[in-house]
A = this chain, B = another copy of it.
Amino acid sequence: MTQRQSEILQESIKLIADKGIQGLTMKNLANAIGVTEPAIYRHFENKQKILLGILSLFENNKEIFSKFLQDETSNPLEQLKLLVKMRFKYFAKNRAIASVIFSEELFRNDPLLSEKVFEIMKENQKIFVQIIKAGQKLSVIKKDVTADQLTLIIIGAIRLIVTKWRLSGCSFNLEKEGAYFWKSIEILIKI
């Protein structure tokens, strides 16, 4: 990954954050960087590759999550809290990623992209399920609802909060709202 390539990805992300995914055109991108459109093709084969590049940035982030998964000393409930917190923090810092990751509809006609989004979604789920299962085993999380269902509920809520935040023009403090949500979910799921 060269300097220019990462610059292109960063500028793409900015454009998406600003004007939505429709705002990411080769023309806009070229203008934002300060070169002409064909120059971009020296660094990325096509537009799809740029989008895949953005998704990869998100994918790499998963390593960070799996780190503290290894740390088995801490309580699963604490791990889960941290995970939820990190998610909100990440989206607050990377608005554009949410635009990309949550607009599966746009990738419907592009199997490669939609598959990647689906993969990231699944990978993300796995981490939640793993922690929740551990919590259930240690009897700190309710067992009368499956880990899959609890994961679904938590991820669904996170997505909705982030979506609302974006639609509102980022008018409220996402991390604060996230912390508030955690309080609620903790009450519901802990034993």
Contacts and interface: CB of A to CB of B under 8 A. Distances in A.
Interface of A: 19-23, 99, 102-106, 108-109, 114, 118, 142, 144-146, 149-150, 152-153, 155-161, 163, 167, 180-181, 184-185, 187-189
Given A106-B106, A188-B189, 10 more contacts: A19-B108, A20-B108, A22-B106, A22-B109, A103-B106, A105-B106, A152-B157, A153-B185, A157-B157, A159-B160
A153 B152 contact: no
Contacts of A156: 153, 156-161
A116 to B, nearest CB: 12
How many copies of this chain?
Answer: 2
Nearest to A104: B167
Contact of A163 (B104, B180, B189): B104
Across the A-B interface, the 6 shortest Cβ-Cβ residue pairs: A156-B160, A156-B156, A20-B108, A156-B157, A149-B184, A103-B105
A20 B189 contact: no
5 contacts: A103-B105, A104-B163, A144-B187, A152-B181, A156-B160
Contacts of A103: 103, 105-106
A141 B85 CA distance: 27
Contacts of A181: 149, 152
Contacts of A118: 167
Given A156-B153, A159-B156, A159-B160, A22 B188 contact: no
A150 B188 CA distance: 10
A99 B103 CA distance: 11
Given A103-B103, A104-B163, A153 B189 contact: no
A144 B190 CA distance: 13
A86 B104 CA distance: 24
A146 to B, nearest CB: 7
